[in-house]
A and B are shown apart, each in its own frame.
Chain A
Amino acid sequence: MNSPYQILGVTERASDTEIKQAYLQLVKDNPPDRDQQRFRQIQQAYETIKDDDSRLRYALFHWPGIEFDELLGHAFKQEGVTKPMPADDFLKLLSTISIDKTLAKNFIKPS
């Protein structure tokens, strides 16, 4: 399984500019016309980590193999009020949040 960092070929400490440059180079080599699947993968990777906000969100809520947005959707849909989310889904949701690890990383990061 490839992380967005691996897809774009950058380190987790790459700056916005470095990420953007890597993205543009990949797009140049894989235009949307040629291979839409590949382009979409590059585009998604870029959108996931393109700036501080998205990188923090990725670090906080990403867990391999889990579609976090889908779980979040279930938890907060109106139906959720009368029909609580199944217990194992809720546990999965909890397990995605690895707060200490992420906060630690963001604290030591030079601003």
Chain B
Amino acid sequence: MNDIIIGIDLGTTNSEVAIVESGKVTVIADAGKKILPSFVGIDDNGEILVGETACNQYLIYPERTVKSIKRLMGQDAQVAMAGQAYTPQEISAVILKRLKAIAENYAGRTIGKAVITVPAYFSDAQRQATHEAGQIAGLEVVRMINEPTAAALVYGTGPDEAKRMLVYDLGGGTFDVSVVGVQAGVVEVLSSHGDNHLGGDDFDQQIVDYILEHLKQQGIDITGHSKAMARVTRAAEKAKLVLSDEPFAQIEEEYLLEHQGTPIHLTLELARSAYEDMIADYINATLDAAHIALKGAKLTASDIDEIILVGGSTRTPCIRERLFDEFGFEPHGEVDPDLCVAMGAAMQAAMINGQDIGTVLVDVTPYTYGTSALGYLDGMPYPYQFIPIIHKNSVLPVHKSEAFMTHQDGQRQVDVRIYQGEDPDALNNIEIGEFMIEGLLDVPAGNIITLALDLDLNGILHVSAREKASGKEKTITINNAISRFAAEELADAKQRIDGLFGENADGEEGFASESAAAAEARQLIKKAESLFETVSSEDKEDMVGLIETIVAALEVGDDTGLREPVERLNDIIYYLES
């Protein structure tokens, strides 16, 4: 039997894990919930919290809780949690470990491989960091695929009609837009564009600023109070969700803090129209990006047959309205925008695992990669002219090489810099690596150096260079890739994160050691969850309650505590199925 490969959507605000079983995609629920909030925290006893519990703790102990870590991926940053500093990779690894455990509970065996999705517009450094987070979590990342592409895979599988889709993916922290062609069982990404720091979190921030301004007018400044700020942030997010369905939202927080001895209550109304004004610039930016993607695919709005909405932030009504105005038809959203990406990841995982899912994926890079050389900028000689080598929207995998010449007689070394971006001035692009080629032949200027760039299916770049005359390939180490871990640092990070979960160094929780009663209970949970879609909400509530009790007992290994809830759940299922 093949190893299971799971599909993971590691989101800014929410994460999900999915699996393909006998041709069917399932987003795996944990205690009845398919969505795991991307929150990590440390509780009173120093235990690690992930998901809902960490999210709840955020209000009381913001200093012990981390949210939206994805925004820092690929940066040389650290976050503090309960007085300890962690890298973004480590925090992400905690979330991945939890998802891995959820999948293992479901499958009843250990899982070591995953396909993880990343925003299409994630840079090389952000992709590297995601890959590292997987390793720290003890997962082999067999592939990273772009989020809008994963969603397109879900919508692109099915009846064999040719269509062109625009995937509009607005998540908690990132925005991607892709133009995708579906024809003859091939899902072909034609172009991609986006912004890797634009999302629902920015919308929340606008509301937070509005609340802070309101308080300031009363002479109150809460920016120094982390708890009050956490409550305001949560209230802002809640108001945003309310405004998806209602024209007005009441923002109320009692006893927000004490100000000069008197308690401050927050009461404020926010109208949807006022909120839409606040976020108008962001929405405009996403539509501009959509047009850039269309142009990249050499298409116009009228060539698009379907719009697919992905990401929780697309529930904002004015986004649907604006897209309707631009394209003239309603966007699609049949597949839950929060779950779609994880489902696509699981489908790609199944494909890599050798299962035929009837669809093949062809993806592109949203970035141009190149180097800098002596050249011209605006007609003037300039030492850092950007020389594109792999162009935006090239199909992956792609291999391109370019010849360069030394410009001094007897030049023995060349400094090569690799950039990502579109600007003719290399210095305005993102430098992703730099290396020296040394020991060149002592020859006159004009010694030819061939630089080869390889962009793999994960969107990660590999670079090599060769001196043509000697045929010698120069060994290259990219020495300033910002957030990169050395192998031993990765191992240390893994040990540290394993320690947080209370595991020893070899740390695999064995399923073999589990009792028969526990295994039976897990099977029962699976069965109960498969019935959720068809049962009444009261029955579902009862079942979720029982599942929670069972899970709690499983966690502490209390087999006798299992007996009663298992029996009751069994009764409900029996009653439902008869």
Partner-B contacts on A (CB < 8 A): 20-21, 24-25, 27-28, 31-33, 36, 39-40, 43, 47, 70, 73-74, 77-79, 83
Contacts and interface: CB of A to CB of B under 8 A. Distances in A.
13 contacts: A20-B183, A21-B184, A25-B184, A27-B360, A28-B185, A32-B362, A33-B351, A33-B457, A39-B397, A74-B403, A77-B405, A79-B407, A83-B445
Interface residues of B, number: 26
Contact of B183 (A24, A73, A74): A24
B184 A24 contact: yes
Given A27-B186, A32-B457, A83-B446, A78 B375 contact: yes
A39 B396 CA distance: 10
Given A24-B184, A28-B186, A70 B403 contact: yes
A23 B399 CA distance: 19
Contacts of A77: 405
B360 A40 contact: no
Nearest to A77: B405
Given A40-B399, A78-B375, A31 B405 contact: no
Contact of B362 (A20, A27, A36, A74): A27
Contacts of B397: 32, 36, 39-40
A40 B398 CA distance: 7
Give the interface SS of chain B, mostly helix, strand, loop or mixed.
strand
A31 B183 CA distance: 14
A78 B396 contact: no
Interface string B475-519: 000000000000000000000000000000000000000000000
B457 A28 contact: no
Contacts of B457: 32-33, 36
B268 interface: no
A24 to B, nearest CB: 4
A55 B396 CA distance: 22
A42 to B, nearest CB: 10
B352 interface: yes
A31 B185 CA distance: 11
A31 B403 contact: no
Interface string B169-198: 000000000000001111010000000000
B402 A33 contact: no
Contacts of B352: 33
B376 interface: yes
Contact of A31 (B361, B399, B402, B407): B361
A61 B457 CA distance: 30
B402 A73 contact: yes
B374 interface: yes
A54 to B, nearest CB: 13
A111 B455 CA distance: 38
Contacts of A40: 397-399
Interface in B115-163: 143
A73 B376 contact: no
